[in-house]
Structure 1
Amino acid sequence: MALHLIKHCLWIPKLMYFLRCSPLFNHINFLQKFDDAIRTSLEYILNVHFTEDSWIQCTLPICFGGLGIRTAVDLCVPSFIASVHKTHDLVGTILSKSPEDLEVAFLMEAEKRWKTMCPDIEVPIFPSAQNNWDTPIIKLKHEYLLTSASQHPAEKARLLAILEPESGAWLHALPSPQLGLCLDADTLRIAVSLRLGLDICQTHTCVCGVTVDATGRHGLSCCKSAGRFSRHAALNDVIRRALNTAGYPSVLEPPGLVRDDGKRPDGLTLVPWRMGKSLIWDATCVDTLAPSHVIGSAVEAGNAANIAANLKLNKYKSLSTNYFFVPFAVETLGTFGLDAKHFVSVLGTFLKLASGDSRSKAYFIQRISISIQRGNAASILGTIPRTVSMDEIFFI
């Protein structure tokens, strides 16, 4: 909740008026102190320690793989220039001056600073939109992160995966305990650390006997992963509830419906889904950074999920004649496979028609994203050896 309030209410949103209306770019030292304060606050709230690269990533918008915590140093120039151009005609009208005769103090200086920050980029065609001045700065920072990770497949795979829109859906969710969308402190810390590439734990030995490094990523692909079953059950429950809401009542693990090897699909709709055929689905969540997937994931986001989906299609060939099968494959970093994306898009449309809310699809994706993050946290924490608690003190 504290992260949500800082991002949407208490920090840059409170300062944006001053950034747009005054030349604060002439006081970078003051703005830097302001940004240092928010960095310290976030480290306290999230219980993490930012490296320089992870802090750069943190300050990027969510769609560029960050947390959406923007800094005053990054926004001071774009916001001032855009504000001047947006109000230029109105100010001229108020002062009874033609646009050519109206000079705005510090505008030339601000544009020179922007050219210094973005030396090889042309001035935006529509200068009144702050996004047009801000996006080039964001892209340069993201390109720097990709270049820094070019020699490390796991880091490059991570940066590519979090660029996918659905990977950051959990950051857009309203942290409401009543709606089941509020992450506990450990889950939030692990979710942020996985997204930003931060250390999660101390080096230790997993319950399976493998040494776990400080990133804790082994737990995501461990053969004894503690969060695998809970995450799988949560994903199927979200899908079933969404189908029921859209008017397609469904059941999990339908009895009597098996594939060639005797295993059942995860779910079945009790009414036809398309062309008179009922829908069956099988959900899976594969590790983006697993040793067997990391090379492919460093080339294309969603590669691991697409491979898993193709394997599912082959396993359910015998049922595809009488049923419409969807392999719902997602990844631990939040990326959806192509079949899952298409299914979510179609089901999202049905949810919108049933509920009348245009945000129904986004809410559906947020539910799935939250389930993935909780499963990740359970998997990573499950690698830590069990210790004796002090229950005898609290439950005498």
Structure 2
Amino acid sequence: MELMDSIGPLPDINMKLWYLDDGSFVGPRTAVATLLSVLEIKGPLFGLHLNTSKCEVFWPSGDQQFLDFPPEVQRITEVAGGAELLGAPLCGSDAFFAMSVAKRIDKISDCQNRLSDLDDPQVELHLLRSCLGLCKLNHIIRTVPTNKITKELLRFDVNLRHCLESLSRSSISNEVWSQATRPIRLGGLGLREASRSAPAAFLGSCNSSRDLTSRLLLSCSLPFHQSNETSHVEREDQVSEITIPGELDCRSILSTLLPDNQDLQIRKMTQKEIQRLLDVSLSLHIQDSTPSIRDKARLNAISTPHSGSWLRALPNTNLGLVMSREEFLVALRLRLGIAVFPSSPLLVRCPCGQVIDKFGDHVLGCGSGPLRLKRHNALCDILYRYLLVDNAGSRREQCFSSESNDRPGDVFHPDFLQGKAAFFDISVRNSFTNHFINSCSTKAGAAAEAGEVQKDLRYDSDVTSTGASFYPMIVETYGTWSTYSLEIIKVIARKTSVLNKLPVSRIVCNIHEQLAVRLWQYNARMVLDRLHLVCHGE
């Protein structure tokens, strides 16, 4: 840092740390007070204007009036119960830790409770997950032992659950809440519980700082329980095995959340690695404890790659990523397994004559009315636009040949791979029909894979005989794409990236977000259309 370089060596300062414009210094009082004065003088030359009223000085013993420092500098004394650094309690009594974290949670909860004023559940969920969720506490749960703030973390989780109930306009059962706290890639909403994630965060912090802590202890004169004859090598080995206060309690908590033997290597893992173990453990527990075949099929479907892309898509009108309030609420309830049709002792029938179930399974595959075709066409339009970027000769509904009116694909590309023309045929399959629900409960994507085979049998040989390629692209109603379809989307992304210079991974995400939003948007519209009939008795 140029400012510190200009000041020169500071032999009396034992430690100096900077995080952006926040600095922390440890040393004799006179040395730290002198450094503060120098920063006030030289700081403005480098754009750093010191706000002494926000500076804090602390030492756990001795005269705590700190007469060497300007009067506006805050004195952290034993009377206050402890000290904070960068917004997190650093040391003090258990009551001080609890009080400090409680204040932080009160501020977060106040912001969370204001989300409902937006009256836009799509935006509310984005903000709740990305701005007002666990991320607001992460720096605290990485520095404070979990056992000191258990009650405060549970209070945070309760309010987080209340916010989900508010934005979903639904009562959230324990089972639904457990699903919602899973990451999106595992079928949840990404609303992590602080009480469950805190041990992973604290242990990850301990593991990442253990080497630094060991070096600091080796360089100081802190007493050890070894004899005076203990060698430096023996001392270094023992320091490398130090246990940070609160670490054992967190490891004990994690042992109750993880299957046997999975906690053995936690001492070497990062927070992310430990959290992944917790996520997978919770996901397997939910899947194994679900007795319903339908729920098993649903959980399988929403845990597949990119099936939750509509939840990650930032609302953007120009990209077609905005869902109406009603559409998003229906889509959210479908994902969480919450009934979308009112329970009634009387059988409610669809215009096609079939009974409408409370989860809308029949509705999502019903061909009565125009919405199923519109859903299909909306997905085709997205694919067509990306293929058009690669080749202006791409067309919709291209005939098989000049001598035939058969259309084997929804989109035609004249030169897709290896100089061959390509026909792309998109289809949406309902994984909750009687024909597929059992297979989908044991294998995710079973309906999509079966649809792919069916399309190949119907068109592939005829298309390939003309020198073209046939690509069936099958997606299930809850967003599961066949494995082959996922690979084709990657190829389309690679070809598009050559022209627009964006990373392939970003284009893959863009395609899936647009496809997923359109799919769930029309799923919701199909439900809302039938719900109108049910509510009005038509």
Question: TM-score, with normalisation over the residues of structure 1?
Answer: 0.90
**Which residue of structure 1 aligns with residue 449 of structure 2?**
306
**Residues 195-223 of structure 1: CA deviation (Å, up to 9, x unaligned):** 22111121443233333232122211223
1:353/1:263 CA distance change after superposition, 3 Å: closer
Q: Contact 1:329–1:340 at 8 Å: present in 2 too?
A: yes
**Alpha-carbon distance change, 99 to 242 in structure 1, aligned in 2, over 3 angstroms:** farther
Greater relative contact order structure (CA < 8 Å, 6+ sep): 1
Q: Would you say the 8 A contact 2:259–2:281 is kept in 1?
A: no
* Alignment match, 2:434: 291
Q: Does the residue aligned with 1:100 lie in a helix, a strand or coil?
A: helix
- Give the 3 Å change call, closer, same or farther, for CA 205–258 of structure 1 in structure 2: farther
CA distance in 1, matches of 2:336, 2:437: 17
Between 248-257 and 334-343, the greater mean CA deviation after superposition: 248-257
Are residues 1:67 and 2:155 paired? no
Aligned to 1:138: 279
Counterpart amino acid of residue 360 in structure 1: I
In structure 2, what is the equivalent of residue 224 of structure 1? 368
Q: Deviations along 1:209-260, whole A, 9 cap, x unmatched?
A: 3332321222112231553111111111111111122336311112574898
Which shows bigger deviation, 249-258 or 337-346?
249-258
Secondary structure class of the residue paired with 1:199: coil
2:221 is equivalent to residue 78 of structure 1: no
Question: Among 478, 481, 484, which residue is 1:336 paired with?
Answer: 481
1:272 alignment partner in structure 2: 415
Partner of 1:24: 146
Structure 2 unaligned segments of length 5 or more: list them. 1-122, 221-235
Instruction: Give the aligned partner of residue 366 of structure 1.
Output: 513
Q: 1:253 aligns with which of 390, 397, 410?
A: 397
8 Å contact from structure 1 (residues 205, 383) kept in 2: no
Are 1:44 and 2:166 matched, yes or no? yes
- Residue 354 (structure 2) aligns with: 210
Amino acid at match of 1:147: D
Give the whole-Å Cα distance in 2 for the aligned partners of 1:198 and 1:152: 14
1:273 offset after TM fit, Å?
1.6
Tell me if 1:111 matches 2:251.
yes
C-alpha displacement of 1:94: 4.1
In 2, Cα distance between equivalents of 1:157 and 1:258? 44
Q: Cα offset for 1:110?
A: 1.4
TM-aligned CA deviation for residue 263 of structure 1: 4.6
TM normalised by structure 2 equals 0.68
Instruction: Select which of 367, 380, 383 maps to 1:236.
Output: 380
1:59-208 matched pairs, under 5 angstroms: 59-95=181-217, 96-97=219-220, 98=236, 100-101=238-239, 102-120=242-260, 121-124=262-265, 127-149=268-290, 151-203=291-343, 204-208=348-352
SS in 2 for 1:10: coil
**Structure 1, unaligned runs of 5 or more:** 390-396
Q: 1:257 to 1:235 in 2, by over 3 A?
A: farther
Q: How far does residue 285 in structure 1 lie from its aligned partner after superposition?
A: 0.5
Name the SS for the 2:342 alignment partner: coil
Whether the 8 Å contact between 2:399 and 2:405 is mirrored in structure 1 is: no
Change (3 A) 1:115 1:240: same
* Counterpart-to-counterpart distance in 1, 2:527 and 2:403: 32
Task: Kindly report the root-mean-square deviation, in angstroms, between the aligned alpha carbons of the 2 structures.
Answer: 2.4
Deviation at 1:178, TM superposition (A): 3.2
Q: Is the 8 A contact 1:202 1:213 kept in 2?
A: no
Residues 139 and 265 of structure 1: CA distance in aligned 2, closer, same or farther (over 3 Å) = closer
SS at match of 1:328: strand
Instruction: Give, in angstroms, the shift of residue 351 of structure 1.
Output: 2.1
User: What is the Cα deviation at residue 91 of structure 1?
Assistant: 3.0
Name the CA shift for 1:86/1:386 in 2 (closer, same or farther; >3 Å).
same
| CA-CA distance at 1:286 after TM superposition | 0.7
1:3 maps to amino acid:
L
1:394 corresponds to which residue? none
Closer, same or farther: CA 110–161 of 1 in aligned 2, 3 Å: same
Number of aligned pairs?
Answer: 387
Q: Secondary structure at the residue paired with 1:272?
A: strand
Q: Which amino acid aligns with 2:342?
A: Q
Q: 1:279 to 1:259 in 2, by over 3 A?
A: farther
Contact persistence 1:268–1:278 (CA under 8 A): yes
* Cα deviation 1:337-371 (Å, max 9, x = unaligned): 13312211211221222222111111111111111
Q: Distance in 1 between matches of 2:412 and 2:476?
A: 23
Instruction: Please name the residue that 2:120 is paired with.
Output: none
Q: How many Å separate the matches in 1 of 2:435 and 2:475?
A: 16
For the residue of structure 2 that corresponds to 1:208, the secondary structure is coil
CA distance in 2, matches of 1:176, 1:258: 41
Which ranges of 4 or more aligned residues in structure 1 deviate by more than 6 Å? Answer: 258-261
Tell me if the contact between 1:227 and 1:377 (Cα under 8 Å) persists in the aligned partners: no
Aligned to 2:527: 380
Counterparts of 2:126 and 2:533, CA distance in 1: 32
